[in-house]
């Protein structure tokens, strides 16, 4: 394993300054939340950072606070804390998504920010192939083993965005709070998540030396309902083959607004705008939810070995909406 140094910081400002100092010395930097992904990447050599800035002891970095119709969640909150927090009362989909991640051991340590910014789990990248994600200039999955790869938004890389929490955040209309040398800024999901066509090496817009401090969510209306549905390739602790995060605002039995986002099938959390528009003004009858499932996959483009994701995605959308009808 490559040698690296570790810096423990107690504030976000300290973290940003430590990163700037290291970078000005020509050193590469990574931030560590729970370390569940980063430490393995350092061991495997897929992360070659010179300096690790450990955020675990940052004061107040895991707090949840609400003001003026907005809830701010600190990025150092663990997934276990998030799944059991009050946020679950109003943003149930987020608590469900956090509870669906990995194993209890991982959820007790892994953080919200680390989950959203974890690197892809494509087997080529994780096994040291010099593909786009590793700084190379080709994608081995296009003609290789692509069973678990993207059916939306692919090219030139075909990773699926690995986070369960991210689709729930996007469905809830979250913005992403980023800190860097120029201070703190709120970044919309559209700007935060980066398609491979924009930059095949990255999954988000964080520049070197910038970190994800947390997220900001508009408080959902009282008539909102939400649900997270995840399908895995085995009945145990793993990433989604496909997942659906849905947030609906209801007027009685009629859908007033809809926000539906897919995980596990696209290079970024994938918003189903056409389906959302279709659902508005409709009652969630059996015909309507079936149509929503079909519409969801009309723009999907499978690779040679992941065609199974098409019926799986249609069914997942249908089941998610049925779960909201049936409570
Ligand atoms: C067996 C197994 C099963 C898993 N199953 C799932 C699953 O079902 N669903 C799922 O979503 N994930 C799954 N994961 C991935 C796991 O959830 C991630 O390892 C974890 O969420 C990462 O959180 P962390 O806080 O430990 O991040 P870390 O390991 O600390 O960091 C992960 C990455 O994010 C960067 N980073 C961390 N914090 C910040 C920050 N504040 N700002 C900027 N960059 C930062 C790090 O530099 C690193 O690149 C699984 C992992 C394993 C090993
Ligand atoms: S899908 Fe992405 S991570 Fe996988 S081989 Fe292709 S470029 Fe690399």
Q: What's the pLDDT tens digit per position in 120-155?
A: 999 999 999 999 999 999 999 999 999 999 999 999
> What's the sign of the alpha-carbon dihedral 44, 115, 52, 208?
positive
Does ligand 2 lie within 6 Å of residue 46's CB atom? no
- 75 pLDDT higher than 80: yes
Q: Residue 323's pLDDT is what?
A: 96
pTM of the full predicted structure?
0.98
Residue 38, Cβ density class (10 Å: 0-12 exposed, 13-18 middle, ≥19 buried): buried
pLDDT of residue 61 exceeding 90 = yes
Domain 64-118+159-218 in CATH 3.30.465.10? The answer is yes
Q: Is a pLDDT exceeding 90 seen at residue 311?
A: yes
Encode pLDDT of 229-241 as tens digits: 999 988 777 899 9
- The whole-number average pLDDT for the span 279-299 is 98
Q: What is the rounded average pLDDT of the residues 75-99? A: 92
Please report the sign of the dihedral spanned by the C-alpha atoms of residue 15, residue 20, residue 212, residue 126.
negative
Query: What's the 32 CA to ligand 1 centre distance in angstroms?
Result: 9
1-54 against 224-326: fold identical: no
Q: Cα–Cα distance between 228 and 167 in angstroms, integer?
A: 9
At residue 326, the 3 state secondary structure works out as helix
Helix (H, G, I), strand (E, B) or coil at 316: helix
Q: How far apart (Å, rounded) are the C-alpha atoms in residues 233 and 239?
A: 9
Question: Which has the closest alpha carbon to 163: 184, 324, 171?
Answer: 171
**CA dihedral over 120, 239, 306, 302, signed as positive or negative:** negative
Taking CA atoms only, the protein residue closest to ligand 2 atom 2 is 157
Of all protein residues, the one whose alpha carbon is nearest to atom 6 of ligand 2 is 139
pLDDT, tens digit, 9 for 90 and up, residues 164-203? 999 999 999 999 999 999 999 999 999 999 999 999 999 9
- Is 157 a pocket residue for ligand 2 (Cβ < 6 Å)? yes
- Whole-number Å distance, alpha carbon 110 to ligand 1 midpoint, is 6
Q: Is 141 helix (H, G, I), strand (E, B) or coil?
A: coil
Structure-token pair, residue 264: 């596990």
Q: Please report, for the chain, the start and end positions of each structural domain, with discontinuous segments joined by +.
A: 1-54, 64-118+159-218, 224-326
Instruction: Classify residue 327 as exposed, middle or buried by CB count within 10 Å of its CB (0-12, 13-18, 19+).
Output: exposed
Query: Which fold does the domain 1-54 belong to in CATH?
Result: 3.30.43
**What is the distance in A from the centroid of ligand 2 to the CA of 136?**
10
Q: Which atom number of ligand 2 is nearest to the Cα of residue 156?
A: 7
**Ligand 2 centroid, distance to 304 Cα (angstroms):** 15
Largest CA distance in the chain: 62
Residue 25 pLDDT: 97
Q: What is the mean pLDDT of the chain?
A: 96
Mean pLDDT of 315-327: 93
Class of domain 224-326: alpha beta
**122 C-beta closer than 6 A to ligand 2:** yes
Angle, CA 200 vertex, CA 194 and CA 201 arms, to 5°: 95
| Cα 245 to ligand 1 centroid, rounded to whole Å | 19
């Amino acid at each position: 394993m490559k040698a690296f140094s570790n810096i423990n910081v107690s504030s976000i400002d300290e973290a940003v300054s430590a990163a700037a100092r290291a970078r000005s010395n020509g050193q590469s930097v990574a931030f560590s939340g729970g370390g569940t992904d980063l430490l393995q990447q350092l061991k495997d050599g897929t992360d070659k950072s010179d300096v690790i800035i450990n955020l675990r002891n940052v004061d107040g970095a895991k707090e949840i606070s609400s003001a003026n119709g907005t809830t701010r969640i600190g990025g150092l909150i663990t997934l276990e804390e998030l799944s059991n927090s009050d946020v679950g009362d109003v943003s149930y989909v987020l608590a469900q998504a956090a509870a669906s991640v990995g194993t209890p051991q991982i959820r007790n340590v892994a953080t919200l920010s680390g989950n959203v910014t974890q690197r892809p789990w494509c087997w080529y990248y994780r096994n040291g192939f010099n593909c786009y994600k590793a700084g190379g200039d080709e994608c081995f999955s296009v003609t290789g083993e692509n069973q678990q790869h993207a059916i939306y938004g692919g090219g030139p890389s075909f990773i699926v965005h690995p986070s369960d929490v991210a689709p729930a955040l996007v469905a809830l209309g979250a913005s992403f709070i980023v800190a860097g040398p120029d201070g703190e800024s709120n970044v919309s999901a559209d700007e935060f998540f980066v398609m491979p066509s924009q930059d095949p090496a990255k999954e988000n817009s964080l520049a070197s030396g910038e970190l994800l401090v947390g997220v900001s969510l508009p408080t959902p209306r009282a008539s909102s309902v939400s649900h997270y549905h995840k399908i895995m390739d085995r009945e145990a602790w793993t990433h989604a083959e496909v997942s659906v995060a849905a947030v609906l605002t209801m007027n009685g039995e009629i859908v007033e607004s809809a926000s539906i986002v897919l995980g596990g099938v696209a290079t970024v959390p994938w918003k189903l705008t056409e389906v959302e528009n279709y659902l508005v003004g409709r009652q969630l009858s059996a015909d309507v939810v079936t149509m929503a499932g079909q519409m969801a996959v009309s723009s999907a483009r499978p690779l040679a070995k992941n065609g199974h994701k098409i019926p799986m995605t249609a069914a997942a959308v249908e089941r998610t909406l049925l779960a909201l009808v049936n409570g």
